[in-house]
Amino acid sequence: MNNFKVSIYNEENELFNLKNRRELIMERFVNDDVLVQKCGRNAVKMDSIELRTKIITRANELGYEIWDEDFDLKYLILYLINKDRTIEADLNISFNTWNLTYSDKVIFGEYKTNNLVGFHTLNNGFTFLGMQACGNWECPVFFIIYYDGKQIRAYIPSYGNTINLDFHSAFGSEGEYIKVDRHKLEKKYKCIGTYGNANDPWYARYLRKYGLTWQSVEINWNAIETDIERQIFVK
């Protein structure tokens, strides 16, 4: 990843820093320029066992039949994604679920820090099931399943997540989104110097904004957690 120095000036145009007048070093990450505002989503405090039960109950309501006590929760989640209209609407980023993991033992990507895949409870008491999904041609997208007190919901964080917000898609599936004005985006990328060559994929142009490539981009789990805590209020 690229590093850049941020110099802060006062009204007299004199350089100063908050701590010992040292220069601040910031490491960029994908979608680090997203303004994470507080949202009106709600959730209730519960543990992972309760959430798992809620998920199973909702799948049963929609017609999912469990024949084996050792069933794989993965297939139940896939069923909900395809059958529950609320969850379908919540997952407003285009991505494929051909590859999906909900287990912290199977992570797409190599992460040295703690990840949020699997059942987790944050410091504010919010419990969710974190997952990654992608097609073989896509960069994995992270999303969560949770209970809002009335129904099962899904949410895709933006801040630090490996998604293309210009195309509302996973990296690699920009062609799936037909509503975007590609001519306008071309002008935008040329203006900021990330357009590159005419044959460059759209995700490459997007990632250049952050000094990243397909090989170097990864989820920033701290940013993801910040996004979730600001977007979902726990009653």
State the pLDDT at residue 235. Answer: 85
Return the pLDDT at 10.
39
Query: What's the CA gap between 52 and 215, in Å, rounded?
Result: 34
Q: Both tokens of residue 229?
A: 């805590």
Q: 164 - beta bridge partners?
A: 169
Q: Which two tokens stand for residue 46?
A: 């519960």
Going by C-alpha positions, the residue among 187, 129, 193, 140 that lies closest to residue 30 is 140
User: Tell me, what amino acid is at 27?
Assistant: E
Write out the two tokens for 131: 């997952």
User: Within a 10 A sphere around the Cβ of 133, how many other Cβ atoms?
Assistant: 23
Whether pTM > 0.75 for this model: the answer is yes
> What pLDDT, on the 0 to 100 scale, is given for residue 8?
35
pLDDT at residue number 19: 34
Report pLDDT for 38.
82
pLDDT at 112: 60
26 in Cβ contact with 6 (< 8 Å):
yes
Q: What is the full per-residue pLDDT of the chain (235 aa) written as tens digits?
A: 443 333 333 333 333 333 333 333 468 999 999 988 887 899 999 999 999 999 999 999 999 988 776 678 999 999 999 999 999 999 999 999 999 999 877 777 776 667 999 999 999 999 999 999 999 999 999 999 999 999 999 999 999 999 999 999 999 999 877 788 999 999 999 999 999 999 999 999 999 999 999 999 999 999 999 999 999 999 8
| Among 93, 80, 87, 97, residue whose Cα is nearest residue 157 | 93
Q: Are residues 230 and 122 in contact, defined by beta-carbon separation less than 8 angstroms?
A: no
Any idea where the domains of the chain sit in the sequence? Answer: 31-162+219-234
Beta strand 232-234 pairing with 127-134: unpaired
